[in-house]
């Protein structure tokens, strides 16, 4: 036990503790003036404590056991998503959460980690050989497609997009052929530009169809991103006010607990989705840069651990987690400065949210588990 504790990456541990402290301070600032939000310091500490416990427990757990039983794990993930359609409560026009008293659990968050484990298990069977389309690329793609379509139905575009980014990142590290990459890029380009052309050309018809099928909030998010000057001001309220808050922070910020936009309650969901606006307004460019630098350090150490791993399965898992974090960081920050459409993706380790924080900390526990368990090859890499 002591030997394994000494093997922990101190840079990752210190960075995670730094995130926890920052999250505690920022969530407090974002909620102190809103009596409708019941988030006390005690509750925030409890959430952080659960996350740290998950990180430590997962670090000592041999991740290779999860690879051995990937099909059961995948089954549990799909079953939980199916359960959402029957047992979850609708919040702001979308399903996705199970409620257990005052505790909410979001299966779509768990599915991100499950997909990383499943894809890593399947890629490990190739033992570094180039992926074939029929035996590898297609089956793995179909495995991701099932939860992707289910989550889109909730609807939850944010997590659905993360599933695709995880798939792309793990395809790349899994040694996909360049011809397959080129074909994929062409398909993505055609779908993106073709989709925009159709949406722009047949806007009213598509809006009517989406509204009739419970996807009205897609219209709000797409139109506020594509046509910000023409949409209802209420639709772009969060983005516009977040940009104003970040811009007003200047170089050094207005000071902790001194943000005008935040404390006038003009930024919706400032303690979760829009928490980066709190950073920008109260700590300015300097504080925002420090936060992004900490993310860089974390991702750098994760990639270094993947490179140093003696087992391909461990490298695959880490790159899957890196892909997940990179998109979440880029999307969350980007949507608050007008570069990306608004989604419900939270800022890793900083935004308040029990499920997201727990999954993120367990993900980092898996990274540490890869670092601690390199004593022998897994069954997959031995070809058993």
Tokens, residue 354: 């029990």
What single-letter DSSP state applies at residue 104?
E
206-240 tens-digit pLDDT? 888 888 877 777 788 788 888 877 777 777 888 88
Element spanning 100, H or E: strand 94-100
| Amino acid 384: pLDDT | 44
pLDDT(102) > 70: no
235-294 tens-digit pLDDT? 788 888 999 999 999 999 999 999 889 988 889 889 988 999 999 999 999 999 999 999
Could you tell me which residue, 106 or 145, shows the higher pLDDT?
A: 145
- CA 94 to chain CA centroid, Å, is 18
Indicate whether this model's pTM tops 0.85: yes
**Paired residues of 94 in beta bridges:** 91
Measured between its terminal Cα atoms, the distance across the chain in Å is 29
pLDDT(95) > 80: no
Task: Supply the mean pLDDT for the chain.
Answer: 88
Give the span between the Cα atoms of 141 and 80, in whole angstroms: 20
Q: Is 297 exposed, middle or buried (0-12, 13-18, 19+ CB in 10 A)?
A: middle
- If we measure between CA atoms, which residue out of 312, 292, 325 comes closest to residue 169? 325
Q: How many CB atoms lie within 10 A of CB 90?
A: 11
């Amino acid at each position: 036990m002591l030997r394994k504790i000494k093997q922990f990456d101190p840079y990752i541990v210190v960075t995670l503790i730094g995130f926890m402290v920052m999250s505690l301070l920022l969530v407090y600032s974002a909620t102190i003036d809103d009596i409708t939000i019941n988030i006390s310091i005690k509750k925030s500490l409890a959430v952080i404590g659960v996350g740290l416990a998950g990180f430590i427990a997962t670090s000592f757990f041999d991740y290779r056991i999860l690879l051995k039983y990937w099909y059961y794990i995948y089954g549990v993930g799909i079953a939980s998503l199916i359960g959402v359609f029957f047992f979850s409560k609708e919040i702001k026009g979308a399903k996705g959460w199970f409620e257990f008293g005052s505790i909410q659990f979001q299966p779509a968050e768990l599915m991100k980690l499950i997909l990383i484990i499943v894809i890593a298990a399947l890629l490990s069977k190739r033992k570094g050989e180039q992926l074939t389309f029929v035996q590898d690329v297609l089956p793995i793609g179909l495995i991701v497609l099932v939860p992707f379509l289910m989550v889109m139905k909730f609807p939850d575009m944010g997590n659905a997009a993360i599933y695709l980014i995880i798939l792309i990142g793990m395809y790349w590290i899994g040694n996909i052929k360049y011809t397959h990459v080129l074909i994929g890029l062409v398909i993505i380009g055609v779908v993106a530009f073709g989709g925009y052309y159709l949406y722009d050309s047949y806007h009213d018809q598509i809006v009517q169809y989406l509204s009739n099928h419970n996807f009205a909030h897609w219209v709000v998010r797409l139109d506020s991103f594509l046509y910000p000057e023409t949409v209802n001001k209420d639709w772009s309220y969060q983005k516009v006010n977040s940009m104003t808050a970040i811009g007003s922070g200047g170089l050094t910020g207005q000071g902790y607990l001194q943000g005008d936009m935040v404390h006038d309650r003009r930024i919706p969901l400032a303690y979760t989705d829009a928490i980066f606006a709190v950073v920008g307004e109260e700590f300015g460019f300097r504080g925002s840069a420090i936060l992004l630098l900490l993310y860089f350090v974390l991702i750098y150490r994760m990639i270094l651990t993947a490179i140093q791993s003696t087992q391909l399965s461990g490298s695959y898992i880490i790159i899957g987690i890196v892909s997940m974090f990179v998109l979440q960081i880029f999307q969350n920050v980007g949507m608050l400065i007008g570069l990306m459409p608004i989604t419900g993706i939270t800022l890793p380790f900083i935004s308040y949210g029990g499920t997201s924080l727990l999954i993120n900390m367990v993900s980092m526990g898996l990274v540490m588990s890869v670092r601690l368990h390199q004593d022998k090859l897994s069954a997959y890499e031995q070809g058993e």
